[in-house]
Amino acid sequence: MDAFARLGPDVREALSDRGFTTPTEPQREAIPPLAAGKNALVLAPTGTGKTETAMLPVFDAIVAARDAPGDPPREGISALYVTPLRALNRDMMDRLEWWGETLGVEVAVRHGDTTQYERGKQADDPPDVLITTPETLQAILTGSKMRAALEDVAHVVIDEVHELAAAKRGAQLTVGLERLRRVAGPFQRIGLSATVGDPDEVGKFLVGCGRRDPDRAGDRAFETVEVAAGSRVDVSVVDPDITDEDGRLAGELATDETTASHVRTIRETVAENESTLIFVNTRQTAEALGSRFKTLAEKEREAAGGDDGSAPDDADADTDNDADTDAVTEIEVHHGSLSKDVRIDVEDRFKAGEIDGLVCTSSMELGIDVGRVDHVVQYGSPREVARLLQRVGRAGHRRDLVSAGTVVTQGGDDTLEAMAIARRADAELVEPAAIHHGSLDVVANQVVGIVMDEGEVHAREAYETVTDAYPFRDLSESTFQEIVRELDGNRLLWLDEGSDALEKSGGTWQYFYANLSMIPDEATYEVYDMSSRRQIGTLDERFVLDFAGPGETFVQRGEMWRITEIDEEEERVNVTPIPDPAGEVPSWVGQEIPVPKPVAEEVGRIRGEVAAALEAGSTP
């Protein structure tokens, strides 16, 4: 039976209106168990229709429940769609809004930027589907009106579950889901993910390990639907040779010939394709590369307009000039330390075809919609197989189209590492997700959260709720008791030793909300362009204190800025744009990407083989 045939007439009619006649591979495999109400982990490359795979059966179930004769309609939220990024929330809202309007299902989004008015509206009249983040779910579980709305939750979709499984905020989310279960009872859990090395672990992370509800078939069980990524990815590894042109380019960019060869190679790859994402591993690298690309684009524009940058006098030359301008390779920069407005602007321009390439960090890794991507460049070793597959998987978002990628390496071990990772990707040897097991700060935060939810709870119930979450299944009672006594001693909750009841204290509310997020705080300064009166991005406090001062120049958004003033009280750096190409590249606090042990071992073997070959008389 066709997968779409498992869905009701309203959803099938909407599919027809949308022009969807044949399901994608993930949809073909996953819609039947999801339509039957089963939990599932769907593993597939980006762009294979994972969102619709999860949400079509959910929409169908919501419509069926609404139209069921005799049953009172649900007053609260029927489904939660949880993503790790606010930007993904925005994309999901755009993507699901049409389906909601067509099916008469209200879809709304809620995160840290949601206005107080909109929050109040959602509390008084809850949507059918709420798109949110893990941290916002933590917050709404404690509100009386939203908590009542959550009683009707029947489906939870966790997008990019592999990203959350490897983060402490993901461990926090698993307890949050068990807190939600205390409110709503058992609900369907759907995880959407890129390829991972250990699907069974990620599936257990998703569904938890507590007692199964005998009244809900398949409770705590899950099915895995996996679409192989390695067979859909074509990756080449390039260590560019230095040419005569690189010597000239090095002079123009005030850099060395090796770096110039990397810039040239990447620009040639971008020019050969219509739309290219250029992934780098750090924001510093993004800015350094971006500034060089923009310098060369500016020179191309000047050449298109004449030697002095002016337009040709001959009116008949207009057509030729347009052609020359079209030849300019436009490459922009995108990362998390640029302002929201700047990021949205470059995303929209890339989607519209106004930009040829986008230098980006992991900010673009998780499926933010930027339209069609023809090719992906990874600058430097991606460090992990999973990261390479996730990034290159952004290219070729059409059915049965192979995702093409090029790794431009920086020589030596960087090249060997990239070769090892590319080989392992082809063999689908993906690293396991590094689940954060037993994080005690998460336990402390979530015990206080349970008390915030319920006002008073028995310590045994709180312990069972925490240990029903997979990352905390091995938490001992004695360790839990130590944490509770520590919280009690710091007046973050009150422990009644006689009855073992946990209750709110004077410090409960403040502690919970101050520690709502497991994302490390970074002290930052806003960067404000005085000429356009717009925020450009942020700088880390350490960079501002160590380097920044009036008159100093630095790179951000791939462009040069001179500092005019630093407002310590407002934590703001006021700047003006300048043409000077010699600016400081900022540094930001960020997490280093570790190299997995099997990759390092393979690099060691390759080095050994090369050394043996050289000793035997081979030439490099």
Q: What is the residue whose two structure tokens read 């700060």? A: 441
User: Per-residue pLDDT averaged across 551-574, rounded?
Assistant: 90
User: Per-residue pLDDT averaged across 167-183, rounded?
Assistant: 96
Closest CA to 590 of 302, 298, 287: 287
**Per-residue pLDDT reduced to its tens digit, 70-111:** 777 778 999 999 999 888 888 899 999 999 999 999 999 998
**Per-residue pLDDT reduced to its tens digit, 384-412:** 998 999 899 888 755 556 888 999 999 98
For 106, 291, 334, 525, 546, the CA distances from 557, given in Å and listed in that order, are 37, 8, 7, 15, 21
User: Per-residue pLDDT averaged across 205-213, rounded?
Assistant: 93
Closest CA to 180 of 155, 205, 215, 213: 155
Phi, psi of 443 (to 5 degrees): -60, -50
Q: Give the DSSP letter of residue 338.
A: B
Q: Which helix (H) or strand (E) holds 129?
A: strand 129-132
Residues 397 and 46: beta-carbon distance below 8 Å: yes
Sheet holding 40-43, edge to edge: 107-110, 129-132, 79-82, 155-158, 188-193, 40-43, 223-226
Confidence of residue 125 (pLDDT cuts 50, 70, 90): very high
Confidence of residue 324 (pLDDT cuts 50, 70, 90): low
Domains and CATH numbers, the chain: 3-228 (3.40.50.300), 231-426 (3.40.50.300), 440-514 (1.10.10.10), 524-577 (no CATH)
The pLDDT value given to residue 325: 53
Residue 366 and residue 385: Cα distance in Å, rounded? 15
**Per-residue pLDDT reduced to its tens digit, 265-314:** 999 999 999 999 999 999 889 999 999 999 999 888 888 775 444 444 55
Residues 148 and 76: beta-carbon distance below 8 Å: yes
Whether 317 shows a pLDDT value over 50: the answer reads no
The predicted model scores a pTM of 0.87
Residue 132 and residue 169: Cα distance in Å, rounded? 14
In order, the DSSP letters of 490-507 are TTSSEEETTTTEEE--TT
More confident residue, 313 or 462: 462
Q: CA Rg, the chain, in Å?
A: 27
Closest CA to 477 of 507, 500, 503: 500
* Core vs surface per residue 168-182: b (16+ CB within 10 A) or e: bbbbbbbbbbbbbbb
DSSP, collapsed to helix, strand or coil, labels residue 545 as helix
More confident residue, 487 or 326: 487
**Per-residue pLDDT reduced to its tens digit, 131-165:** 999 999 999 999 999 999 999 999 999 999 998 99
Whether 25 shows a pLDDT value over 90: the answer reads no
Strand 553-556 to 559-567 pairing: antiparallel
Q: Who's near 125: CB < 8 A, 6+ residues apart? A: none
The pLDDT value given to residue 439: 94
Residue 338 and residue 480: Cα distance in Å, rounded? 41
| β-sheet bridge partners, residue 584 | 554
Given CA atoms 255, 257, 262, 265 in this order, what sign does their dihedral have? positive
DSSP, collapsed to helix, strand or coil, labels residue 531 as coil
**Per-residue pLDDT reduced to its tens digit, 519-550:** 777 788 999 999 888 999 999 888 888 888 88
The pLDDT value given to residue 346: 93
More confident residue, 465 or 516: 465
Q: What is the residue whose two structure tokens read 């000239």? A: 248
